[in-house]
Structure 1
Amino acid sequence: MRSSLRAAFAFGVMLLSGSAWAQEGATAAPTETAPVDERPAENIPAEAAPRPAARWVLSHLDVIRLNPLGLETQNRFVWQHRLMDSDSVLFGNTFASAGLGLKLNPAFLKVGPVVEVQPIAVLHVRVAYEFMQFFGTFDYVQSYPEPTDPDGFSDDNRKKEENAERAYTTNGHHAYIEPTVQAKVGPIALRSKFAFEWWKMSLENGDRVWYDATLDTYVPGEGLVMTNDTDLLYLAGDFIGGARLSWVNPLYSDDDFVAGEPDGFDGMSHLRVGPLAVYTLSKREGEKPVAHRVLAHAAWYLDHPNREGAMPYLLVGYSYERDI
């Protein structure tokens, strides 16, 4: 069942990404992440919001998440340079940027450089590195000998007294590349963001994997994870509504198991889908634009090691982006 769902998902994403590239006269869709990554100001037509060729941009996002539980603030301060001065649909919103990213919640701090480039409206690429410091609070970090027990990282199991007491302070490294294909035809927008993530954590007790709440799965102590968020959206002025399909797939090696990968092991990937909504509270255009937005997302797990049939994934947030 899990293998067939993953195959169907991969085929669906190929179709969605292909259609994004094929749309004639397509423009960049609004880009929200993760879980939601707000880049709203980039979608204002150049003639409506004239800007300098180079600018400093501050992006801020606060989110509260349930199932799994999370509270986080994400910030990016970047210098952005326009690549082309064009009225073209495809080349009127091209840029490159570099700066610093900071993520903070009660359990950890992540900080590091981030570089982004959008050479054409239908393609956006982000590359980043983060140094991670975990505080040993809120039952994090918990690590495990191998990723074979689907209930090992369940909420109930991690909160058990004997497991919560095993949480420890540690640090690590995280690097990733995120290519996004995106398109807009009329009021309909489509975007598909892949992430290829490398992790290296300092684990104790000879453990090989650990639990990350954002990815909600066992992550290799040193290894790779692939993710995808695909959004189908309807744009109606200050309101954006649609649906998001999210997939997480850790890539384990034999070194992540005590005695090599066991026969019949089906991985620890998961898949969820549900509605997504973004509403613009206020927006100021011009040379130094500012935008304030609220967002909400609910998703039901179609495939998960220990959350199928449980309450949905829920997220609410507030974001702003402004030129400095």
Structure 2
Amino acid sequence: MTSTRSWIYVCAALCAGLVTPIVSAEELVEESIDEEFGEALVEEEPAAAEVGGFHLQSSLAIRPFPIGLALRTQGGFKKGLFESDSPLLSGTYIDGGISTSLSPAAFWAGPYLELLPVAVLKLKVSANFMTYFGTWGYLYVPGDAAQDWSLDALSASADQGLGQSTTGMMVEAETTPQMKVGRVVFQAPTTFGWMKMDVANNYYEPIYDLFFAPEDTYWVTRPTLGYLFGENPAESFVLLGVRWEHTSIANSGVVRDTVGLLFNWKLPSSYLSWGDASISGFGGMHIDHPNRGELSPYLGIQAGVKLF
């Protein structure tokens, strides 16, 4: 147990040192950034025999408003389902493996299972064990009933070293209707989740930038409409889109809406000989944020590489 904790703290310190010249890393990055949006719909549909094998991808995400950082990895094995010329069945697969998320404040890890039974619907279930180091003022547990998780309160928690070291568990199920018509792409991922944290009171969770009860359920939907630019989108493209995100948490009673613009640039393969690289981001505004006013800015950038 001691060696495991030491390894986690070393990784967190290295992760913080990597980006210190760019941003002070206080939080994990919210799920609003989606580097895969559009890529699965743009690539030419392969046959089932060509869909499969081991894969590994990694991404570094930075969020300036509010400040955040995460290093994410996902590795697993994918197997094609059907050998068919039908546009609905070609390229379908089942995929399972392990995903992790690391920041100077926390570490997540757990298994996932993803299924694409038809081209227009993706399903995913995952479970994560979460550990928070107590650094950077997180996990933030207010000492009163005000449930104040404003930016000033979070900054004060970091300055005063009030972060709580603890562990938790999260289980999520996600369904994603998706389609591509010409150069127009659409996705509407909707996540249903359950989270339990070993704390006595309601707390602020930095990954989702939301306030939860010690045991809570929630749902998040992110419909996104985009357009592809590029002469050969199967090789490289720039996707620009609009996104609305709605989040509702059952026990804490928090409801939040975010609207904004999304981009995803899949770099040409000639730019990187050892992997497929992409840069993506999402910028917008929280509308009627529960305690940050009518308009609260959000901005996140993510760079990712698929190694194989």
TM-score normalized by the length of structure 2: 0.80
Mapping 1:1-324, distance limit 5 Å: 34-38=32-36, 40=39, 43-46=42-45, 52-144=50-142, 149=146, 152-160=148-156, 164-203=160-199, 206-207=200-201, 209-237=202-230, 238-252=237-251, 267-283=253-269, 290-310=275-295, 312-323=297-308
Cα pair 2:226 2:241 within 8 Å, conserved:
yes
1:296 is displaced (CA, Å) by 2.0
Specify every segment of 5 or more residues in structure 1 that has no aligned partner in the other structure, as ranges.
1-32, 257-266
**CA distance change for structure 1 residues 162 and 275 in 2, over 3 Å: closer, same or farther?**
closer
**CA distance change for structure 1 residues 56 and 295 in 2, over 3 Å: closer, same or farther?**
same
Give 1:12's aligned residue: none
Q: Find the aligned partners of 2:64 and 2:208 in 1 and give their Cα distance.
A: 13
1:37 is displaced (CA, Å) by 4.7
Q: Find the aligned partners of 2:274 and 2:161 in 1 and give their Cα distance.
A: 48
Cα pair 1:38 1:319 within 8 Å, conserved:
no
Q: Find the aligned partners of 2:84 and 2:32 in 1 and give their Cα distance.
A: 31
> Which amino acid letter does the alignment assign opposite residue 241 of structure 1?
L
> Which amino acid letter does the alignment assign opposite residue 245 of structure 2?
S
Q: Give the % identical residues.
A: 26
Q: Deviations over 1:294-316 (max 9, x none)?
A: 11211112221123355520011
> Which amino acid letter does the alignment assign opposite residue 111 of structure 1?
A
Of 73-82 and 59-68, the range deviating more from structure 2: 59-68
Cα pair 2:112 2:126 within 8 Å, conserved:
yes
Cα pair 2:48 2:92 within 8 Å, conserved:
no
Cα pair 2:139 2:164 within 8 Å, conserved:
yes
Q: Deviations over 1:12-36 (max 9, x none)?
A: xxxxxxxxxxxxxxxxxxxxx6331
Q: Find the aligned partners of 1:196 and 1:305 in 2 and give their Cα distance.
A: 21
Q: Deviations over 1:95-137 (max 9, x none)?
A: 0011000100110000010100000011101100100010101
Of 136-145 and 292-301, the range deviating more from structure 2: 136-145
Q: Find the aligned partners of 1:161 and 1:300 in 2 and give their Cα distance.
A: 24
> Which amino acid letter does the alignment assign opposite residue 307 of structure 1?
R
1:52 is displaced (CA, Å) by 3.3
Q: Secondary structure at the match of 1:293?
A: strand
**CA distance change for structure 1 residues 289 and 88 in 2, over 3 Å: closer, same or farther?**
farther
Specify every segment of 5 or more residues in structure 2 that has no aligned partner in the other structure, as ranges.
1-30, 231-236
Q: Find the aligned partners of 1:42 and 1:231 in 2 and give their Cα distance.
A: 13
Q: Deviations over 1:173-193 (max 9, x none)?
A: 011001111111111111101
How many residue pairs end up in the alignment?
269
TM-score normalized by the length of structure 1: 0.76
